[in-house]
Structure 1
Amino acid sequence: MKHAKLFAVSVAAILIAGCAQPEILQESRAPGEVAKVRSLLIAVDGSAFSNAQFGHYGRLYINAMGETLRDSAGSIPVSLVTTDAMQLQDEIAKAVISTKPSQIMRLHTVSVTSTRGRPIEAVWQVDITNVSVRTIDAASDPGKFQTQITSRAVYRVQLSGPTCLAGLITTEARVESCGREMGNTIASRLRTVHVMTPESVVR
């Protein structure tokens, strides 16, 4: 009976335990640059998390991270796009043209560490760029127009964090918790370094 109780306590601890805190590895920014944000496109490349190793948990992690970043943007209008390896069209370019954001926050995995075939940790890179979208005359076809997109890098940071797929018990709630934790860590860091400011409050 004693062993059974200990086992039950151990299982409960695994189920309710939070993920380890994500860690900032390195970052850089354009000197003196503060992005004056009118609207923001958050583009999450979840290609690595669409791998069969993740099963359906990969999409849960990606969605939780992206939605957390979107919800932490405050008064800034945000569009969120998530992509995976199976998509044939450039959804990010389509979103840039349709929403005409003043900034893009791109997120993609630099590496994924696995043990015994299970991904346990991912290194994410976050890039923020100022973006300008305008319509210009098509040089090769007078009378027609094309969209010109120009960008300038503002900030980059790399973070390492757990996938919550390494434990004995993997649950949807735990994986989503890890995704939210990564999103919150990124949002907190952006506030700390003051890399983005809503355009309405910039003087």
Structure 2
Amino acid sequence: MTVQPTIGVLALQGDVREHLAALAAAGAAARQVRRPEELAGLQGLVLPGGESTTISKLAVLFGLMGPLRAAIRDGLPVYGTCAGMIMLADKILDPRSGQETFGGIDMIVRRNAFGRQNESFEALVDVAGVAGGPVEGVFIRAPWVESVGARADVLAEHDGHIVAVRQARVLATSFHPELTGDHRVHELFVHMVRTES
């Protein structure tokens, strides 16, 4: 029998319900996380999209910045989409004043790189490690990765820009697979959690 891992979704802002549903469809027991004590017992965590500066401020306000940085450093598997990707970057190219990240991937990310809200788009993206053909990527004020360090692996590019990266137990995409009904990227993350936690 396959073990059902418990994976949290950071519920400070963003498309939390969609990630909870995608994780459940991918075989995980998913629950919301808003406070440091709710990190206990998790085998993985998803950082949803939203607005990265707001997530940063709320993480500080709710006392999650330090505990989440420590959990990622200690090897908790984490998957971030869009703003979640920005929060996993060790460096932001154009941060807002006072903006902090959790870190975890040796990469430099550019916020809103693909344009404003009205320039949002969908595109098919080939993601290394995801079988069955390209996934439909929903890009909403999406970042892209300017560069990665030696420890990070590029999993996907779109239009010449890096849009999916993995470093050890940390995964990030600049697009939103949770909005499409295709749960293969979440299945990849759940597999990471099962095999590496």
Q: TM-score range by the shorter chain?
A: 0.3 to 0.5
Say which structure, 1 or 2, has more relative contact order (CA 8 Å, 6+ apart).
1
Structure with bigger helix share is 1
TM-score normalized with structure 2 length: 0.33
Larger radius of gyration: 1
Structure with bigger strand share is 1
